[in-house]
Amino acid sequence: MKYYTAEELAYVTGGILNKVEDVKVCKLYPPLLADEETLALALNEEEIANLSETKAKIAIVPLGAAPDNITTIEVERPRLAMMKLLTMFYVPPTTGEGIHPTAVVYPTAKLGQNVSLGPNVVVAEGAEIGDNTKILANAYIGEDVKVGKDCLFHAGVNIGKNTIIGDRVIINHGASIGADGFSFVTETPDNIENAKKDGEIKETNKQQVVYKIPSLGGVKIGNDVEIGANACIDKGTIEYTQIGDQTKIDDLVMIGHNCKIGNACMIVSQSGIAGSCVIGDRVVIAGQAGLADHLTIGNDSIIMAQAGVSKSFPEKSIIVGAPAVPRKEFIRQLQTMKKAEQLIKKFQAYEKVLNAEVENNEG
């Protein structure tokens, strides 16, 4: 277990050190869970208040929030400082050295220097694994897959044929990259096609046959991407499904075939992106949002949680609701509903008077 001094912690975070005494720490915890060997993380008002009861001798706090009775490091961006500290204290998973005896590497596969393959890993024909990449137990690397340098694939990852993965990519437990796309066609127009054309479902062909459209493309993932546990990214029909550099994908996200996701996007858990969507750079898609197929979302847009997106939006859009609309439109709709509620209440208040007046006129 490694210990760090207050001076080292201040240097890493770029914070202002207010030193009361010499300290060394080996752990990170909130103030109420901290002991004398812990750096207390007091990054909000509640945790700052809890410093009065902490056993820690040092805390990291926002700029201007340092109490006098404890050594502190003041930082301008607490969340950024927390990232630096967690990276500093992080212990990577044990991967072992070299190739585990139960791993299977096909003769035509190529492994770079210092590659680590855990138990039951399979590296198929024609696959290439870059230097220093570590692949944990029970992962499958398909035919002709190309994996870059310094990657980490956790247990149970499945990488399908023709996938290209850049450098420093992290793929978490159970993710599926490069499965066939959800792509089918019928002999005659089906209910979906009729509904799109006519706005209604008329005749139904009960003998309709559904044919699978094979996926001959692949998936291309850029550098410094992270993909969460049990996320799924389907390969393209003919071309590549693409994920740009620095994009971060949460657990349980679904990205359909032929999608093109830009750089530095954040896609949050349980979001679903249907096939052939184009997502610009630095787009945030919040939890449980759903996007229909063949949409374009411009750069620097934000799709709010549980939005149901059925049309394209330009850059810098803030997209809300189901069906999704721009944020200003959504607020206007809420205001209209509020005004309508007030009008209904006023009408109800005068309803008896109006009814009596109508009865008098009819009499």
Active-site positions read 257
Q: Which two tokens stand for residue 154?
A: 């956790």
- d(C-alpha 275, C-alpha 228), whole Å: 20
Tell me the two tokens of residue 169: 């990519």
Q: Which residues contact 258 (CB under 8 A, 6 or more apart)?
A: 181, 217, 236, 237, 239, 241, 275, 276
Q: CA-CA distances (angstroms) from residue 29 to 32, 70, 72, 253?
A: 8, 16, 14, 30
Cα 42 to Cα 33: distance, rounded to the nearest angstrom: 11
* Cα three-residue angle 155-160-164, rounded to 5 degrees: 95
Cβ contacts of residue 181 below 8 Å, gap of 6+?
213, 215, 234, 235, 236, 237, 241, 256, 257, 258, 275
139: Cβ–Cβ under 8 A, 6 or more apart, which residues?
118, 121, 122, 153, 154, 155, 156, 157, 158, 159
List the structure tokens of 330.
Answer: 């959504």
Contact 121, 98 (CB under 8 A): no
The C-alpha atoms of residue 247 and residue 262 are separated, in whole angstroms, by 7
Chain centre to alpha carbon of residue 306: 14
- Cβ atoms of 186 and 210 within 8 Å: the answer is yes
Alpha-carbon distance of 72 to 62, in angstroms, equals 10
Nearest to 14 by CA among 96, 107, 85, 120: 85
**Residue 127 carries which side chain, given as an amino acid letter?**
A
d(C-alpha 93, C-alpha 105), whole Å? 22
